[in-house]
Structure 1
Amino acid sequence: MRLILACAQASTLVALAQGYSFSEITTTTTAPVPDSRVESTGLAINEESRIFGGSETSINKFPSVVGLRFQTPGATNFCGGVLVAPQYVLTAAHCILEPEEIYASIGSQYGSGINDGEQILVVKRFLHPLYNNATLTYDVGLLKLETPSTQQTATLCAADGSDNDVGTVATILGWGKTEDGTFSRMLQSVDVKIITNEECKVQYVNYVDQDITEEKMCAGTEKGKDACRGDSGGPLFANGVLVGIISSGGVECAANSGVYVRISHVLDTIDSIINSNGMCNQDYSGTITEGMLCAETGNGKDSCQRDSEGSPVINNELVGIISSGSYV
């Protein structure tokens, strides 16, 4: 990765995010996982947490919905996700702690097999720096794909939270366990109503590891409608925009309101990876200023010694001057 002094014209190309950036983890890193990962759900790490009461829907209506699979493209989805940029998938952090190779199944109606859509290898994983595996606070992760997807990306909610007002009816999607106890072969959806965190806290008052903190939101007041095992990381859409990521819930699916990551509270961290110098700040210990931009390909292509003061060009326009970097 190479630092570049930015020209004024480049200000529209790079938007530095405020707040935290994601922490990168590698596929060979195993994060500490307690024996019972989420006491409030009673699930083991490979079961995932949290569509009861739903019905089959078309991937064409929700083209940004993603299934995550271990090891081989044709395997069964173990978690969900949502395409938020051509090369990035948003999911639950607890879905991506295991070191196994992950493939993203994008644009596919099916929960297993290679029937349609794209199967793309995940090459980098990022966790929110405040993620807590015991309580699932800031339970959000970002996956970088080996190649960009051609599918439509999701529209992210407004930062002021206006897209997820209490009482808003939202849609959850996934291939997880249904009310008959089996995992769905076809994409399922169900509508749930967003409730206040105060209402949700009452439901989870006896759960020692389920704090309904501000970065969480809850939805679902009608028993029998909920996300379930295998749906973690999947999207919660309200009026066509992404407002939540499926995180956790009660011991029994659809017995309590579902708990979701509140997207409006993590927009800065998403932006720090996708749209700005967030990854560069990680490489250079947070020293990247607004007068700099970074460029990298991840495949061994870069400027090197004696290239300083060279001129990176985008669409025949000068956007910077090569400044510095790290050398091997």
Structure 2
Amino acid sequence: MREAMMYVILMLLIISTTQARDCYSNEECTDCNDLLQKFRNGELTRSQLVDDQCRSTKSSGFTCCKPAKEVANNDQNDENSPAYLPRVEDHKCGQFLDSSNIVGGEDAKPGRYPFTAVLGSRYYNSTQDKYIYTWRCGGTIINRWYILTAAHCYTSSNIRAISKEYVNVGDYDLSTEKDCLPGGRTCLEPNQIILVQEVKNNKDFRRSPRGGVDYDISLVKLTKKIETNKYVRFVCLPLGLPNELRRLNINNYEQDIIGVRAHAIGWGYTTTNFTLDSNEDSKSKTGSKFAKDIQQKVDLPILSNNECEKLFDNRLSFDDGKRMCAGGEQGKDSCKGDSGGPLVINKFVKSTKNLVPDQEESVWVQVGLTSFGSNKCGSGKPGVYTRITKYIDWIKQNLN
């Protein structure tokens, strides 16, 4: 090990100072034995090791390391545990606090969807002499340690460069440092940007031979806990518990939600490799690949599996129920959500199927996450979503 250390030090000595970096608040600058061993085994490249070299101790060969993993806490009833999954009856998920009287339009109300997250990477811009975040996908907060998103949001190159991957929670306007309501008297609490520790893509995730992708779901574990507040809360997952179904006035998450006008929330990121038509990239003024800097929402009807297959000319199969679709309205913009972002429902009016989240005991339940669809907004093609109910057991098994 000592010989390996000396070899690494000699390599690092010839690297310019611009390639070293300051350690993040949740890292240590030390002789990172795990990194050195990975380098010796060929699991880590020279450039990857260089990326983690400490700026303050360049000549020592020290690198920025994530802290040792905490003692596992798999208590499913402890809110601080990675294994915790909140339930509607415990009043720990799906709640929200509107901080604005904005009515209608496409902008979401600040605070109405406090469970949303954006995912992306951080890189050093030498021209501006600062770190830049580029956001590419959406996700949802399911507990203090985990974000639920789509597997296609994390390619093998993203996972290899995990030290550059971050999650942003509590944000509303991506173009501002501080999110305030008109007048400036009321502001949201500062957003939290947290380093990713591990990405758990479903092992069966793959491109589908009939188009799109299968098993498009992933869990993203963070290096430190999310601090919840009025504007950062957990979403409820569709566990199918009696109290949860009673709140929504349904008996199941299949037939009983057909036609319900669910809300897709996000910043409009629609650029993926899995669309069924031509792909056009769009960037906001922040430089991110989101169409909007302010969080958006759109209501879309949930369709039956048969309707979904017809609208996709039987190119996609919905037989196993592991995916669902929503939208399909000609002229209505169905590209407001993010890849990996949520499709949620709440209480709804039986006759119109419109959500009524302002009623007493209203609670947000995530029934789908955005997988793929058409980039031609308003073309009449619905969006395709991973159906969450089919993955509850998988989620529980991987929360650790």
TM bucket by the smaller chain?
0.5 to 0.7
Match of residue 365 from structure 2: 241
**How far does residue 205 in structure 1 lie from its aligned partner after superposition?**
2.1
* Bigger RCO of structures 1 and 2 (CA < 8 A, at least 6 apart): 1
2:335 to 228, 236, 242: 228
Which residue number in structure 2 is paired with residue 197 of structure 1?
305
Could you say which residue in structure 2 is the equivalent of 1:123?
197
Query: What is the Cα deviation at residue 226 of structure 1?
Result: 4.5
CA pair 58-156 structure 1, distance change in 2 beyond 3 A = same
In 2: Cα distance, 1:230 partner to 1:141 partner? 17
Q: Secondary structure at the match of 2:220?
A: strand
Structure 1 window deviating more from structure 2 (95-104 vs 221-230): it is: 221-230
How has the CA–CA distance of structure 1 residues 106 and 242 changed in structure 2, closer, same or farther, with 3 Å as cutoff?
A: same
Q: CA deviation at 1:133?
A: 2.9
- Does residue 1:187 correspond to 2:250, yes or no? no
1:88 pairs, out of 132, 146, 149, with: 146
CA distance in structure 2 between the partners assigned to 1:124 and 1:212 by the alignment: 30
- Contact 2:337 / 2:370 at 8 angstroms: preserved in 1? no
TM-aligned CA distance change 1:254 to 1:139, over 3 Å: farther
Question: In structure 2, do the counterparts of structure 1 residues 74 and 241 end up closer, same or farther at CA, with 3 Å as the change threshold?
Answer: farther
Distance 1:81 1:59, change over 3 A: farther
CA RMSD of superposed structures (Å) = 3.4
AA partner of residue 217 (structure 1): M
Q: Alpha carbons of 1:129 and 1:59: their partners in 2 closer, same or farther (altered >3 Å)?
A: farther
The CA distance in 1 between the partners of 2:111 and 2:132, in whole Å, is 20
Q: CA deviation at 1:76?
A: 3.7
Give the partner amino acid of 1:92.
Answer: A
Residue identity matched to 2:396: D
Mapped pair 1:143 → 2:181: no
Asked whether 1:77 is paired with 2:140, we answer: no
Distance in 2 separating the partners of 1:259 and 1:266: 16
1:111 has 2:174 as partner: yes
SS of equivalent residue, structure 1 residue 222:
coil
* Runs of 4 or more above 6 Å deviation: 1-4, 10-14
Identity of aligned residues (%): 31
Query: Is this contact kept in 2: 1:76–1:113, CA < 8 A?
Result: no
| Structure 2 gaps, min length 5 | 1-68, 84-103, 124-130, 179-189, 241-251, 271-281, 284-290, 347-363
Could you give the per-residue CA deviations for residues 181-216 of structure 1, whole angstroms, max 9, x where no partner exists?
661010000101101011111111264xx4334200
SS of 1:125's partner is strand
CA distance in 1, matches of 2:71, 2:192: 33
1 or 2, which has the higher strand percentage?
Answer: 1
1:102 aligned onto 2:165? yes
Q: Deviations over 1:232-251 (max 9, x none)?
A: 00000100211110111135
Measure the CA separation in 2 of the matches of 1:242 and 1:197. 18
Aligned partner letter, 1:64: F
* Equivalent position amino acid for 1:243 in 2: V
Q: SS state of the match for residue 123, structure 1?
A: strand
TM-superposed CA distance for 1:131, in Å, is: 1.3
CA distance change for structure 1 residues 263 and 59 in 2, over 3 Å: closer, same or farther? Answer: farther
The one-letter code matched in structure 2 to 1:144 is K
Check whether the contact 1:54–1:225 (CA below 8 A) recurs between aligned residues: no
Aligned to 1:272: 397
Aligned position for 2:318: 212
Look up the match of 2:235: 154
Write out aligned runs for 1:247-258 (5 A).
247-250=371-374, 252-255=376-379, 256-258=381-383
When normalised by structure 2's length, the TM-score is: 0.52
CA distance in 2, matches of 1:191, 1:107: 22
CA distance in 2, matches of 1:122, 1:3: 18
SS, match of residue 78 in structure 1: strand
